[in-house]
Structure 1
């Protein structure tokens, strides 16, 4: 067979047609609304259209709107569409308002354009989904897959395929060479053939994807499967039986001719870093301007409450474990920054009256928006701990230092889930790290926005904050 070899560990092809149709729908929606109100399509509306399309496309790429429909639920896709359109229109409206062009446009037209765009974008996706469902029920556009290895990870994969029929996968069965006595608790009848049978199915094109779910200690067997399929067009996907939940952005790369898989690497790289930094700069600037009266008021209260500096700059670990100076309003009568720092506790005599209030409400953290502007912190990320606490807990909590694979944040996933304040037990710190690492592994810009939103309602206070 002359087809090029192809080895895919993850995959979803860009759907160019979907992008073009979205652009056409948004454009036509505007023309329909303008025609209904007898408005002329002039350069002003053309400028607004280009702006909305730019923001929509930018946001869509950032949040994976155009990933393969096989990789996500339809309800999630619909939510992404609504979010993308809403944010695109809000950003464009904000730009028009800031540059004082908003009076040139009909508010009714913009509102109608937004609603019609949302309705048509979702409706056509719904129609496509139903057509796909019907066709797949008749056996069209169904991707047949085979699973090599009746293992725990293989069985989990099979269960997910059965659960999510919208993926359009049909599993033809498990393939394994082991004797029934070596299959642990699994039913031997699930095996429909040997590994060589699975390889032949893939080489003959009877299955599109071959999932290799063998234990990683069987590396020679895995290598032989990959080699045997080197002259086929089947997608070969390896699902390791270890490390998966601990991978930090498991990206495939190479050093010269040697292939590598990153185990612990920041997910915020390339354009993602640009997206996150853009969000940080815009949001922190807006926040500083918006809360400037609060900043001035708290500064005066701290100055009047007790002798000492208004701001306290504490050594913390930032990105990649580098030391940074984190700004806070001083809330104690002392400013501890030594090798041994005692966490604030209930009734702590070091905390001033004003300090107790600003700590409970997280007002003491507001100067950290300047840290964000300087690039030492992000709006959202794992909360930075004192250096002394880092040195203590990195020896006690597994994967503790992986939280430094991204910039520390003013707020974070752990904080909005209640894990903020004093960590007087190891369990509390372990729980905080669990949420921090979940955030890092699954980071998206949308998740940052969600955390900021949740922070407004439940991230400023906590039962363990003193």
Structure 2
């Protein structure tokens, strides 16, 4: 075998640069294929098949949970087994659940590695599917067909199994890629640049066996170089055990590359383009189509349609129930405010909501002034503007209860970044670069920043920046369970009465 140094010495002529690079690449490949990773015992599963395997395992997990729930509940209650009915119900749940996660891309290997996002998505989808099916059962009046105990047990076992399974997938994927255990196909790599060792190692970790690496000429004055290298690649692949071709190039070279690689159509093999350079980031984003036009999603909304539906449903149910239950208290507070000091019972002030849209927030009046405009002073400790009743209302946060009406109107949410007066928005928007990002979600009656100790006055830019950072974390990491936890923690914060004045 000719050594790497000999190959470099033999590279001469107008295509010497490309030949030298290919000699260097082949020398690297000789050493590379001798790595311990290449000789490890591989698993009987390829990286590309992980998605379909994960879907099948989820289906089996859900079906098993349905059968197991019926069996356990039947043994504890001594009722006849109805495995057929519950297996059928589990099959419906499995179809809806896996379809939902598949459509959102949560079965892709990269998504399976994201533990927190996986648990959140699985939990939300699982609850959503059961809520949907509960509505269907109620509408069809077939509730007597199923035992509530078995359904609760099925939901618990199924969700637990799916979450445990996510821990397994993350561990297996990390181990498989670190040690190169995935099975794969023999491939040929063609790249513009020899410095593709990182790509080769990535391909190996994902199960591919790089049999040969060809480097395209970098000197554009010799356009025939690319044709020569493609010819060499075709000659090598014919009669070999290579099953796939990968081409690594920048998209700015596509016009020339397309002409040269057209000759690869002679081979009855799949050819893949691996984009490198700045434009590669663009193709990592979700793609869709409008007619025959390809659309690239540069930015997604904080919440998708399903998540918006869940959050809005929670807002309506919570706000509606709270208003009915608290009606006597609200009426009493209104009377006390009217007797305590002159002025309206309800205070309205302009705030900015979702996407910066202005609305009038509703609060019980707690001050002797009704400020709204370009200049508003924040309330401070021992503020002389606060009335006697207003001080008690502010400490207990009862003054915020009329915002339940804002929630029902769709202007606010139960949980979200707290809205500030329009004058304060205008000021902080000029001094805090990412301040306006808070408007990517509806403002809330309570928020994550408030339960993290940042309730009340923000006298400095630094204090507001801390609040903004927490609000943005909430927007980027929203989940139904997080909202529920914030509501529970809000009760504790109100009971302590910290920073409420």
What TM-score bracket applies, with the shorter chain setting the length?
0.5 to 0.7
Separation in 2, partners of 1:63, 1:330: 48
Q: Mind listing any 5+ residue stretches in structure 1 that lack a counterpart? A: 1-11, 150-156, 163-167, 178-195, 213-220, 245-249
Matched with 2:107 is 67
1:141 Cα deviation after fit:
4.8
Given that 1:420 and 1:462 are in contact with CA atoms closer than 8 Å, whether structure 2 keeps it comes out as: no
Given that 2:429 and 2:436 are in contact with CA atoms closer than 8 Å, whether structure 1 keeps it comes out as: yes
Matched with 1:356 is 391
Q: In the alignment, is residue 309 of structure 1 matched against residue 339 of structure 2?
A: no
Given that 1:378 and 1:409 are in contact with CA atoms closer than 8 Å, whether structure 2 keeps it comes out as: yes
Matched with 1:29 is 68
Distance 1:297 1:315, change over 3 A: same
Matched with 1:400 is 435
User: What SS class does the counterpart of residue 268 from structure 1 fall into?
Assistant: coil
Q: In the alignment, is residue 278 of structure 1 matched against residue 313 of structure 2?
A: yes
Matched with 2:380 is 345
What are the residue-to-residue correspondences of 1:47-446 with 2, within 5 Å?
53=93, 57=97, 61=101, 66-73=106-113, 76=116, 77=118, 109=150, 112-118=153-159, 120-121=161-162, 137=179, 139-141=181-183, 223-224=252-253, 228=257, 232-234=271-273, 236=275, 262=298, 266-446=301-481
Separation in 1, partners of 2:417, 2:247: 38
Given that 1:314 and 1:327 are in contact with CA atoms closer than 8 Å, whether structure 2 keeps it comes out as: yes
Separation in 1, partners of 2:280, 2:492: 40
1:93 Cα deviation after fit:
8.8
1:227 Cα deviation after fit:
8.1
Distance 1:447 1:126, change over 3 A: closer
Given that 1:316 and 1:387 are in contact with CA atoms closer than 8 Å, whether structure 2 keeps it comes out as: yes
- Summarize deviations over 1:314-373 as a string: whole Å, max 9, x none: 111122222101111111122212321111111101112222232233222122121111
* Higher Cα Rg, which structure: 2
Distance 1:463 1:124, change over 3 A: closer
- Summarize deviations over 1:376-407 as a string: whole Å, max 9, x none: 11222221111111222222221322322322
The correspondence for 2:79, drawn from 34, 39, 46, is 39
Q: In the alignment, is residue 20 of structure 1 matched against residue 49 of structure 2?
A: no
Which is further off, 223-232 or 368-377? 223-232
Given that 2:66 and 2:86 are in contact with CA atoms closer than 8 Å, whether structure 1 keeps it comes out as: no
- Summarize deviations over 1:238-262 as a string: whole Å, max 9, x none: 77899x9xxxxx8667899686654
- TM-score, normalised with respect to structure 2: 0.60
Distance 1:436 1:24, change over 3 A: same
Distance 1:291 1:96, change over 3 A: farther
- Summarize deviations over 1:418-438 as a string: whole Å, max 9, x none: 223211111112222222233
- Summarize deviations over 1:221-273 as a string: whole Å, max 9, x none: 5533798599843564877899x9xxxxx86678996866545x642354443
1:71 Cα deviation after fit:
2.5
User: What SS class does the counterpart of residue 394 from structure 1 fall into?
Assistant: helix
- Summarize deviations over 1:15-74 as a string: whole Å, max 9, x none: 64355334423432333234423434679x879958994998399759979433533458
Distance 1:40 1:454, change over 3 A: same
Distance 1:460 1:61, change over 3 A: farther
User: What SS class does the counterpart of residue 272 from structure 2 fall into?
Assistant: coil
Separation in 1, partners of 2:485, 2:244: 43
Separation in 2, partners of 1:403, 1:303: 35
Separation in 1, partners of 2:297, 2:171: 38
Given that 1:321 and 1:404 are in contact with CA atoms closer than 8 Å, whether structure 2 keeps it comes out as: yes
Distance 1:278 1:88, change over 3 A: same
Given that 2:415 and 2:444 are in contact with CA atoms closer than 8 Å, whether structure 1 keeps it comes out as: yes
Q: Mind listing any 5+ residue stretches in structure 2 that lack a counterpart? A: 1-49, 216-228, 263-270
Given that 1:143 and 1:169 are in contact with CA atoms closer than 8 Å, whether structure 2 keeps it comes out as: no
Separation in 1, partners of 2:160, 2:321: 32
- Summarize deviations over 1:77-96 as a string: whole Å, max 9, x none: 56765776678779989999
- TM-score, normalised with respect to structure 1: 0.64
Distance 1:96 1:314, change over 3 A: farther
Given that 2:182 and 2:207 are in contact with CA atoms closer than 8 Å, whether structure 1 keeps it comes out as: no
Given that 2:366 and 2:394 are in contact with CA atoms closer than 8 Å, whether structure 1 keeps it comes out as: yes
User: What SS class does the counterpart of residue 314 from structure 1 fall into?
Assistant: strand
Which is further off, 251-260 or 377-386? 251-260
Given that 1:55 and 1:91 are in contact with CA atoms closer than 8 Å, whether structure 2 keeps it comes out as: no
